[in-house]
Amino acid sequence: MTDPVCPLCLRPIPPGARQSLHHLTPKLRGGKGGPTVLLHQICHNEIHATLTETELARDYATPDRLRAHPRLAAFAAWVAKRPPTFHSKTPGGKRAARRRR
């Protein structure tokens, strides 16, 4: 059986990799019970560090749209060079800084 593939970075998700389910439409924006995708935890963290729940629901409710976001595209290209089990702390602040303006 083949490992599932992360729809953000397109790397396989082996059994030992940190992983989580992402609601394509956030639960708080009507996505409870809606479609989910399995992601590497680091990819999931980056999505939520980059986009608000409203932005996710309004403009980024598909893997293709997520990959098209400039910051997420740059992140996916960077993390794709790491092993499938790679994980590190996701730097925060960019989304939070935008809200403080």
Planar angle of CA 6, 70, 90, nearest 5 degrees: 60
Residue 68 tokens, joined: 């098209």
Taking each helix axis from N to C end, the angle separating 41-50 and 70-79, rounded to the nearest 10 degrees, works out to 160
At residue 69, the pLDDT reads 98
- Reduced to 3 states (helix: H, G, I; strand: E, B; else coil), residue 39 is strand
Q: Which residues pair with 21 in a beta bridge?
A: 38
Residues with Cβ within 8 Å of 11's Cβ and at least 6 positions away in sequence, in order, are: 5, 40, 79, 80, 84
Tell me the pLDDT tens digit for each residue of 39-77.
Answer: 999 999 999 999 999 999 999 999 999 999 999 999 999
- Reduced to 3 states (helix: H, G, I; strand: E, B; else coil), residue 93 is coil
What is the pTM for the complete model shown? Answer: 0.86
**Residue 59 main-chain phi, psi, to 5 deg:** -125, -10
pLDDT band at residue 82, thresholds of 50, 70 and 90?
A: very high
Tell me the pLDDT tens digit for each residue of 10-46.
Answer: 999 999 999 999 999 998 888 888 999 999 999 999 9
At residue 30, the pLDDT reads 84
